[in-house]
Chain A
Amino acid sequence: MLNLCKHFELMENELLESKFQARIDADEKIEPRDWMPDAYRKHLIRQISQHAHSEVVGMQPEGNWITRAPSLRAKMILMAKIQDEGGHGLYLYSAAETMGITRDELIQQLHNGKAKYSSIFNYPVVTWADIGAVGWLVDGAAIVNQVSLQRTSYGPYSRAMIRICKEESFHQRQGYEIMAHMALGTPEQKEMAQDALNRWWWPSLMMFGPHDSDSPNSGNAFKWKIKSESNDELRQKFIDKTVQQAEIIGLSVPDPDLKWNEARGHYDFGKINWEEFQNVINGNGPCNKQRLEHHVRYHEEGAWVREAANAYAEKKKKNSVVAA
């Protein structure tokens, strides 16, 4: 009897799964209350939460420069950008929560290391030119990825991406403007800009993740249309459009193997140091410890604010019951 039940359950699951896949194949979006395979849910919670954490942790290196911004204009812009990043984190946390995980669980997973954030934020932002390079290259790379994700199959994630892409292009342009100013400034300023490009170029390329041949999770991601373009395709897109932007402001991309390949219609580029990538992911980057400790500390120090706000809401609720 038990076996028969199990058998029917399996059959039903298979039926649901084939219906689900048919909807995906027909380019229908999946919404929170729709049936979805557990693995789809898991994959998306992992991906969206990593994305959300990246937005929030990414506020740290930039926040460090608010008091050091070289002009009032630069300071206002930087604050607006950082506020956007916080907003982007919130859109994405909300999208992840529609899959049945709570905000507290998401934050806990960040704090206990179960969830990751983009390893790019484990590099230090040491000069003002680095703020330019982060906007131009890091946000630039993120945009290439996010533009592609606007078509992702999960409705809430897709809607968050559309919103984020609209806001993100100012981020890249402000970064490039900083780089252009410095590259066309004094020799020292130009040197600073070149130095920032030298340090941020390769980590930016790593943001797209391992080569397709070494990317274990991508099979399902394509089948379920969570992703529509591979890591290598997106990386190539980023390189192809960024090289010209470097040239026009007189900076050189730190890759001796970089050259235009007429036959492919793309730039060829040198080998990426994946050992460094793994090392940073595994917690040994220059700032891993600092970034996480900062997040834990402010989350804990802010606990009383959340408690007070909740207590105040409770009190008001009680008072309104008494009044009625």
Chain B
Amino acid sequence: MSNAKDNQGTLWEVFIQSKSGLPYKHAGSLHASDKELAIQAARDTYTRRNEGTSIWVVPAECIVASNPNDQEELFDPMNDKVYRHPTFYVMPEGAKHI
């Protein structure tokens, strides 16, 4: 992602946990030359209003993403597996707490 002229540092993806117990969520990205500066910049850029209690920064090039062209192949097979959902099953009339 970097060309010869580009001296803005590595691209990092920033994930923020808004409070303990909740999942980390992608907040955005930023440039920084190393991980310490990336955390510092993430704090200044994405948590100016108490948006988080914890930050992950990940070099963007380390993220492996699925290809949008493979969407059908990857996800469509799940469409006909309705038996994976609890509503698929017929419960005897009158059964409780199930």
- The DSSP consensus for interface residues of chain B is loop
Given contacts A90-B45, A312-B34, contact A97 B28 (CB under 8 A): no
User: Which residues of chain B are near A97, meaning CB under 8 Å?
Assistant: 11, 29
Chain B, 20-48, contact with A by CB distance < 8 Å: what is the 0/1 string? 00000000111111100100000011001
In the assembled complex, the CB of B72 is this many whole angstroms from the nearest CB of chain A, namely: 12
Residues of A90-149 at the interface with B, using a CB-CB cut-off of 8 Å, are 90-91, 94, 97, 102-104
User: Which residues of chain B are near A160, meaning CB under 8 Å?
Assistant: 28
Q: Is A247 an interface residue (CB 8 A)?
A: no
Query: Closest 5 A-B residue pairs measured CB to CB?
Result: A309-B33, A313-B34, A313-B33, A103-B8, A94-B29
In the assembled complex, the CB of A77 is this many whole angstroms from the nearest CB of chain B, namely: 13
In the assembled complex, the CB of B41 is this many whole angstroms from the nearest CB of chain A, namely: 9
Chain A, 289-324, contact with B by CB distance < 8 Å: what is the 0/1 string? 000000000000001001101101100100000000
A34 CA to B68 CA, complexed, in Å = 6
Residues of B63-98 at the interface with A, using a CB-CB cut-off of 8 Å, are 65, 67-68
A164 CA to B31 CA, complexed, in Å = 19
Chain B, interface size: which category?
20 to 34
Chain A, 25-40, contact with B by CB distance < 8 Å: what is the 0/1 string? 0000001011100000
Q: B3 — nearest CB in chain A belongs to which residue?
A: A102
In the assembled complex, the CB of A94 is this many whole angstroms from the nearest CB of chain B, namely: 5
- Give the most central of A31, A159, A312, A313: most B CB within 10 Å: A313
A160 CA to B8 CA, complexed, in Å = 20
Residues of B within 8 A of A (CB): 1-3, 5-11, 28-34, 37, 44-45, 48-49, 65, 67-68
User: Which residues of chain A are near B67, meaning CB under 8 Å?
Assistant: 33
User: Which residues of chain A are near B48, meaning CB under 8 Å?
Assistant: 80, 83-84, 87, 167
In the assembled complex, the CB of B7 is this many whole angstroms from the nearest CB of chain A, namely: 5
Query: B31 to A309, Cβ gap below 8 A?
Result: no
Query: Which of A87, A104, A312 is within 8 Å of B3, CB to CB?
Result: A104
A241 CA to B11 CA, complexed, in Å = 41
In the assembled complex, the CB of A45 is this many whole angstroms from the nearest CB of chain B, namely: 16
Q: A166 — nearest CB in chain B belongs to which residue?
A: B49
Query: Which of B1, B6, B7, B33 is within 8 Å of A303, CB to CB?
Result: B7
User: Which residues of chain B are near A312, meaning CB under 8 Å?
Assistant: 33-34
- Give the most central of A33, A34, A80, A94: most B CB within 10 Å: A94
Query: Which of A83, A104, A159 is within 8 Å of B8, CB to CB?
Result: A104
A109 CA to B37 CA, complexed, in Å = 26
Query: B68 to A31, Cβ gap below 8 A?
Result: yes
